[in-house]
């Protein structure tokens, strides 16, 4: 197929200046691009759900890792950022439940894109708040 709409390309502008976090964000972007491609290619619901589950598991593990780093570094915004993680995951779990219950492709595509958008926005808005604090380069 042609160019994938909504494809995210890694660039230095997305770097958190922490090699571990950047590697996790690059992996996440790869999963998001797989989801975008699956939706564009009109793959069946089970295939889209599998990718969404991988994205959610990736987010859970990444959030745990961030929170460990916050504790190690004594990051003063750790509690607030962890609360944002909890709220985001709760919302994503709710969206996944809606996805599983939806029968129409329009609805589950909309939910899949919503989950992707919420996580991408988290990386672009919330994670950038701790760049200077956890930078290792």
- Averaged pLDDT for residues 69-95: 89
Give the integer Cα–Cα distance in Å for 51 and 87.
21
Give the integer Cα–Cα distance in Å for 75 and 70.
5
Q: Give the pLDDT score at 107.
A: 76
- Averaged pLDDT for residues 51-62: 92
Q: Give the pLDDT score at 30.
A: 93
Name which residue leads in pLDDT, 18 or 5.
Answer: 18
Q: How many CB atoms lie within 10 A of CB 103?
A: 7
pTM of the complete model:
0.82
């Amino acid at each position: 197929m042609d160019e994938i709409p909504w494809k995210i390309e890694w660039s230095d502008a997305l770097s958190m200046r922490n090699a571990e976090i950047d590697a996790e964000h690059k992996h996440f972007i790869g999963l998001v691009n797989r989801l975008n491609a699956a939706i564009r290619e009109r793959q069946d619901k089970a295939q889209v759900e599998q990718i969404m589950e991988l994205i959610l598991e990736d987010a859970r593990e990444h959030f745990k890792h961030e929170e460990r780093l916050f504790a190690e570094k004594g990051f003063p915004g750790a509690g607030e950022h962890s609360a944002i993680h909890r709220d985001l995951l709760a919302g994503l779990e709710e969206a996944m439940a809606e996805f599983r219950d939806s029968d129409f492709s329009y609805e589950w595509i909309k939910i899949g894109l919503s989950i992707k958008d919420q996580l991408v926005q988290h990386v672009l808005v919330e994670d950038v708040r701790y760049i200077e604090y956890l930078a290792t380069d």
